[in-house]
Structure 1
Amino acid sequence: MRQIQRRAFQVAVGLVAVVGLLAVAETVSAQVPKAAKGDWPWWRGPNFNGVAESGQKPPIRWSATKNVAWKAAVPGRGHSTPIVVGQRVFLQTADDNAKSQSVLCYDRATGKPLWQKELHRGNFQERINPKNTYATSTIACDGGRLFVLFSNNAAVKATAMDLDGKVIWKTTAAPFIEKKYPNGYAASPVLYGNTVIVASDCEGGGTLLALDRDTGKRVWATSRIGKTNYASPVVGHVAGRDQLLIGGLDMVASYDPKNGKLLWDAPAIAMQTSGTPVWEGDLVFAAGGYPSGSTAGIQADGSGKIAWKNNQRIHEQSLLVHDGHVYGINDTGIALCWEARTGREVWKHRLKAPISASPTLVGETIYLTNELGTTWLYRATPEGFEEIAVNQLGTIAFASATICGGQIFLRVADMVEGKRVETLYCLQRDGGR
């Protein structure tokens, strides 16, 4: 336990560089957490944007027998993406029959189950989208504590646990009530300073709030439009300041993560989205998909000016931005590349829908898995679609790929005698590609 806790929460220290006493260069805020090397501790990975740590060499090709370090049975059902902290892998799951919601822990080296902690039993939302689960949020970890969200008893329940599964605190963060669109909860928490930030966009009164990580007590709360939305918030250092970004409700909005004060908003995307914004330079990029499709780039300087906008429907997946270009996959399975500053479409290429997982970028390679367990690897380049490999694992896949320390963690499922059976795979190179 002490060895694990020594990895506790590293913070990116803000440095100021003075050149000739005339120029000052601002770096990442000290309030934005930094992942330990080789870890994937929260939704969308160490950089909060789907971009994996550079320099690693995960496998390019795999199957149920090729480049498999280990595989482990996952009880229950969920879309929670695995997180990796030190030598442990964590994810959420739900048992629809027992109506239980739990956190699972596995040994990173062997896949051996280390513990399972049930947090809630009963009080499941009566109806959700058949594609969704009661364990869709992804855990966030500060190196020594896990922060877990489940929707239960018409509310978002937040729990802090240590890495051995001991509950530190548990609280009702906000109501979560759906009437017109009973799709189920999907948002993941984000860490900032000593808070964990939670989104609950619903017909029960939308709220964006921050809880103290030590106590679970509310630090601030901001009211949102009382309509359903499924986006996860994210904190980025954009246009010279920390900004808490969230899409949906017919807009992209930015808040001060210290107090929840609205900084700007822009009427840029759809009412509902499950994606998380990304950013580059002074631009923020986001997409939505219901009731209409929209993908946009927005000035993050406080003006809320829309730099560009199109009608691409990207409902569940998050975007990637790399080297001046935005990459996305729309709801019909078409991979797209746009020029980041202008929104000009550079290329598009049809893959196979449906796709719910978000893409992950490793170096110049995009990893993208569809709902049937097929993962495409293709180049992040404006020169055109360049396929690297296509791999098959399982026949059902909704969780995004976790890629860290040269390993890929994939949560997939198969139908066995009419029953969905989930498996967690750890993939790594075995002397080849």
Structure 2
Amino acid sequence: MLILLLSGPLGAAENWTHFRGDQAGRADAAKLPTDIGEGKSVKWKVPIRGKGWASPVIFGEQLWTITATVDGSKMWALCFDKESGKTIHDILVFENEEVRFCHPTNSYASCTPAIEDGTVYVHFGSYGTAAIDTKTGKKKWERRDLDCDHWRGPASSPVIDGDRLIVSYDGFDVQYVVAFDKKSGETIWKKDRGIDYGTDNGDRKKAYSTATVIEHKGRRQAIVPSAMETISYNPSNGEVLWRVRHGGMNAACRPLFHNGLVYITGGDGARAMVAVAPEGSGDITNSAIKWEFSKSVPRRASQLLVDGHLYMMNDQGVASCLNADTGEIVWQQRAGTGEFRSSPVYANGLIYCFSVDGSGVILKTGSTFEKVASFEFDSGFQASPAISGNKMFLRSITDLYCIEAE
């Protein structure tokens, strides 16, 4: 499977197979309602027990996500019928006698699954990864032998690429990227980051990134941000193709690719966002960074690329639109209240943004700022939405919603 993150027109899609979907948070043809909120355009709503920030993924009629107890002692995979909200599978995947600390703003179930026909891959960081048969709910394989002290809890999501499942482990103690054989769970390759972090403080070495797989000028690349650097790997064998140094830590936004540039967010760092030409080999920092931007860049919520514009909502509710080729500001405006950690989604000319306190806004894409609507839900959002057809699926802190025009 090749994940191409582009900004041109896209058709309607029923499947949403990864964190940010198959097209970087976009479902261009979806016709979603603008009158949304608690009790508005809600087709169904079901509670989700435990605590988990993992986003929903969808294949066919099934919607999957994961959850865990607050203390991390038990971890589940949950499957729902996307039309009715009825539970199809409720699977206890892992039990843990010992768990490491998880920051209250994170959870033990923050890694979004990856799904394809017949199999869903659930990942809980160093606590384990498993492939589950989507029909029977039985495990096909599991791996619990890769150690990493995530320090504040895991959050990187797995990515399917061909016969591989690519996952990053950027912890306090060790930092590496792994490709599993998706059929057997065996390790195809494992590559230590090899980054000069400039410190012995492991807190400055951690990250929560999800790979983006692209093909550029005939070369396939798995681009995986970390603290201080982003590294491009050959997804077949783990060979390092290039690395770019941008500084920072806690990188969480998934990279985007458009018109020969990769857009990388470094998390907490001086170069908050850089646009990089994914060419050359070795350290390409001095030659490949085409522009950088640092004003009101989100630390957690991934960006959107639509019609040559880069849209983002930062943690404090400031929305920005940049020219994707130059990095110049098209507009920047405070759009929402509360804190925004959920990544926005795009559908049919509109951007939907959800905050931790349950409020949110709908913005119109284009060269001028326009707020279409504001809304409120009973509970806040850490997970990012998924879209299938003309339905949007929201995971709040307490519930799972299906949103559809009435």
The two structures share one fold, judged by TM-score above 0.5: yes
Whole-angstrom distance in 2 between the partners of 1:162 and 1:395 = 32
Partner of 1:424: 400
Residue deviations 1:210-250, cap 9 Å, x none?
Answer: 11111000011111147211111121233443221122321
Consecutive unaligned residues of structure 1, counting only runs of 5 or more, are: 1-10, 13-26, 414-421
Partner of 1:244: 222
Whole-angstrom distance in 1 between the partners of 2:342 and 2:253 = 10
Whole-angstrom distance in 2 between the partners of 1:353 and 1:283 = 32
Does the Cα contact within 8 Å between 2:4 and 2:213 map onto a contact in 1?
no
The aligned amino acid for 1:157 is G
Whole-angstrom distance in 2 between the partners of 1:66 and 1:396 = 16
Whole-angstrom distance in 1 between the partners of 2:12 and 2:216 = 22
Partner of 1:158: 129
Whole-angstrom distance in 2 between the partners of 1:175 and 1:399 = 25
Q: Percent identity?
A: 29
CA-CA distance at 1:84 after TM superposition:
1.3
Does the Cα contact within 8 Å between 2:12 and 2:389 map onto a contact in 1?
no
> Residues 156 and 245 (structure 1 numbering): CA distance in 2 closer, same or farther, change over 3 Å?
farther
> Residues 173 and 144 (structure 1 numbering): CA distance in 2 closer, same or farther, change over 3 Å?
farther
Does the Cα contact within 8 Å between 2:315 and 2:339 map onto a contact in 1?
yes
Partner of 1:119: 93
> Residues 292 and 100 (structure 1 numbering): CA distance in 2 closer, same or farther, change over 3 Å?
farther
Partner of 2:352: 367
Whole-angstrom distance in 1 between the partners of 2:365 and 2:250 = 27
Whole-angstrom distance in 1 between the partners of 2:145 and 2:321 = 38
Task: Give the aligned CA root-mean-square deviation in angstroms.
Answer: 2.3
Whole-angstrom distance in 1 between the partners of 2:191 and 2:62 = 34
Equivalent of residue 70 in structure 2, options 88, 92, 96? 96
CA-CA distance at 1:39 after TM superposition:
1.2
Partner of 1:310: 293
Length, aligned pairs only: 385
Partner of 1:78: 52
Does the Cα contact within 8 Å between 2:74 and 2:96 map onto a contact in 1?
yes
Partner of 1:16: none
CA-CA distance at 1:60 after TM superposition:
1.6
Equivalent of residue 26 in structure 2, options 47, 51, 74? 51
Partner of 2:235: 257
* Higher RCO structure (Cα 8 Å, ≥6 apart): 2
Whole-angstrom distance in 1 between the partners of 2:13 and 2:81 = 17
Consecutive unaligned residues of structure 2, counting only runs of 5 or more, are: 196-201
Runs of 4+ in 1 over 6 A off after TM superposition: none
Does the Cα contact within 8 Å between 1:250 and 1:272 map onto a contact in 2?
no
Does the Cα contact within 8 Å between 1:293 and 1:314 map onto a contact in 2?
no
- Provide the secondary structure at the position in 1 that maps to 2:351: strand
Equivalent of residue 119 in structure 2, options 133, 136, 145? 145
- Provide the secondary structure at the position in 2 that maps to 1:174: coil
Which segment is superposed worse, 288-297 or 324-333? 288-297
TM-score, normalised with respect to structure 2: 0.89
Q: Tell me which protein shows more strand as a share of its residues.
A: 1
CA-CA distance at 1:293 after TM superposition:
5.8
Partner of 2:147: 175
Does the Cα contact within 8 Å between 1:282 and 1:301 map onto a contact in 2?
no
Whole-angstrom distance in 1 between the partners of 2:329 and 2:152 = 32
Whole-angstrom distance in 2 between the partners of 1:210 and 1:110 = 35
Whole-angstrom distance in 1 between the partners of 2:121 and 2:164 = 10
Whole-angstrom distance in 1 between the partners of 2:220 and 2:276 = 16
Whole-angstrom distance in 2 between the partners of 1:124 and 1:319 = 36
Partner of 2:261: 283
Partner of 1:297: 275
TM-score, normalised with respect to structure 1: 0.84
Whole-angstrom distance in 1 between the partners of 2:131 and 2:11 = 18
- Provide the secondary structure at the position in 1 that maps to 2:251: coil
Residue deviations 1:121-140, cap 9 Å, x none?
Answer: 12453322211001000010
The aligned amino acid for 2:104 is P
Do structure 1's residue 234 and structure 2's residue 206 form an aligned pair? no
Whole-angstrom distance in 2 between the partners of 1:63 and 1:177 = 38
Residue deviations 1:351-370, cap 9 Å, x none?
Answer: 22311111111132111111
- Provide the secondary structure at the position in 2 that maps to 1:120: strand
